Amino acid sequence: MSNARPLVLVADDDEDILQLVVLRLGRSGYDVISATDGEAAVELAKARCPDLMVIDVAMPRVDGLEITRILRARDETASIPILLLTARTRDVDVELGLSAGADDYVTKPFSPELLAQRVAALLQIAAQKAQPVQALRAVAWQ
């Protein structure tokens, strides 16, 4: 991840907001892939193992909380940082989201700039967590 552009998966059933997030994160220099429903998001996450996901909570069929739970339960996707987008503030949504295993949340309406900053922060934390493991692996390989 350190030399490649981070891959970010964005899922929102509102295509205007999806495009907004894709555009903004694209400007930050990430490779961005997207899904407009929960099932597609889960499949895409399994197939591509992105470095981070931005997921809308309120999506038809498989919602953001369910996506989070599904991905957390699988070894390969368990550690992908997840940021939830929610239309509600101080609501059960947020508590449920965090207890489902999401790392952070942003409430709608959000500033794309702020979202980009949160994404950058989460990627940085993930990179820091990954480093010692990589270092250990490097030692183990010698």
Partner 1 sequence: MNAMTIPVALVEEADLNADLLAENVRLLQLDELKDELIATVSHELRTPLTSIVGYLELLQAPDAGPLTDQQAQFLGVIRRSAERLLSLVSDLLLMAQVESGGMRLERESVDVATIARDCLAAVGPSAASRSIAMELMADAATVFGDRRLLGEVVDNLLSNAVKFTPEGGSIAVRVGRLDDRVLLTVRDSGIGIPADEQKDLFARFYRTRDAARRAVPGSGLGLSIVKAIVDAHGGEVTVESAVSEGSTFRVVLPANHSLPAEERSS
Contacting residues toward partner 1, per CB under 8 A? 14, 16-17, 20, 23-24, 27, 58, 87-90, 108-113
Supply the minimum distance, in Å, between the C-beta of residue 10 and partner 1: 13
Alpha-carbon gap, residue 2 to 46, rounded angstroms: 21
> What three-state secondary structure class fits 51?
coil
- Measured from the CB atom, is 17 or 98 closer to partner 1? 17
Tokens of 104: 């952070």
- Measured from the CB atom, is 76 or 91 closer to partner 1? 91
Supply the minimum distance, in Å, between the C-beta of residue 17 and partner 1: 6
Give the list of residues 6+ apart from residue 48 with CB closer than 8 angstroms, or none.
Answer: 7, 9, 33
> What three-state secondary structure class fits 63?
coil
Contact 82, 122 (CB under 8 A): no
Supply the minimum distance, in Å, between the C-beta of residue 20 and partner 1: 4
- Measured from the CB atom, is 111 or 134 closer to partner 1? 111
